[in-house]
Amino acid sequence: MKYIMTQAVCEEGLAELGNDVDVYIANNQDPNNYLDEMKDADALIVRIAKCDRNAIEASKELKVIGRTGVGFDSVDVKAATERGIPVVITPGANTNAVAEHAVALMFAISKNLYEGQMEIYNGNFDEVRGLKKAFELKGKKIGFIGMGAIGKETQIFCKAIGMKTAGYDPFMLEEEFKEIECEQYDDYQKLLSDCDIISIHVPLIKETKNMISMEQLKKMKKTSVIINCSRGGVINEIDLAQALNDGIIAGAGTDVFTEEPPSKDNPLLNAKNIILSPHSAAQTREAVINMAVMCVKGCQEVLKGNQWPYVADPSVYDHPRWKKQNR
């Protein structure tokens, strides 16, 4: 079996592969740049990388694509499914890491940690201390847009520090909201206007692109904060920067960008009251190992002809390739 990796997974993931496979590590995010290697590859494992229709269709022997993470917007899942190629994902492997990161951003903003540190460097100790911009999270209402595994885990942390929780998720039943003692909203725009903190946990799809733009930001309280540890493009970056600079909302934290790495002229890089991190929420030591090992195991099972359950589009198993295989 031949595996292609856009970047090497961690040692634990490589060890899971064993010694009886051929592994080509490209150190390049676009498989179109090494189609000669792709033409006889059985498996492709990507991290933050592009895998488009052209690369998939040019890889005649490709049987599985592995994505170390939950988001798969950088992979053309439709093109893969059309060829009966499962796109393996790793739900749950980074849940705790991303939830902790979202809460860390909330604390950093609510305590004004970044501005405080920068102003100490600038010799403005007394001035920044006297701003009184910090506030307590206990008793504040946090609203979650998206209540999948990461949203639920983040909610647990927030409850533990005494926050009131609410959520919007059109795919979650009323009984599920009651079970986790989270107030349910049927309209995310109403959630925006009612909450002190908003935390976003949705995939980037047609329905969620720019779902938070100026119209929605203006519905929020002037004292409110928005956190995005999901995908760049869910929040309109130009509108968010303007909302921060004009005092429409009080602060923001983002781990993701529409273009990664962000260009130097990205307005968020010079916006007020924002904490930025380099799409690193899921990059804890523990999560990286979990994702790599789970991804490799999934790819191995698919290559054995088994229907691994954690794939981007389960309908892939309706493809003639799989029906023929399971006769």
Looking at residue 276, the DSSP 8-state letter turns out to be E
Catalytic-residue membership of 327: no
Residue 138 · residue 163 · CB < 8 Å: yes
For the question of residue 231 being annotated catalytic, the response is: yes
How many whole angstroms separate alpha carbon 173 and alpha carbon 301? 32
Classify the phi-psi angles of 304: left when phi > 0, otherwise alpha if psi is within -120 to 50, otherwise beta.
alpha
**Catalytic residue among 100, 176, 279, 301, which?**
279
Residues linked to residue 183 through DSSP beta bridges, in sequence order: 166
For the chain, give the number of residues.
Answer: 327
Q: Give the integer Cα–Cα distance in Å for 152 and 244.
A: 27
User: Could you tell me if 321 and 327 are in contact, meaning their C-beta atoms sit under 8 angstroms apart?
Assistant: no
Contacts of 6 (CB under 8 A, 6+ apart): 26, 27, 28, 29, 30, 31, 44, 45, 46, 47, 49
The answer to whether 260 is a known catalytic residue is yes
Contacts of 298 (CB under 8 A, 6+ apart): 64, 66, 88, 89, 90, 308, 310, 311
**Burial class (CB within 10 angstroms; exposed 0-12, middle 13-18, buried 19+) of 143:** buried
Q: Would you name the residues annotated as active-site residues? A: 231, 260, 279
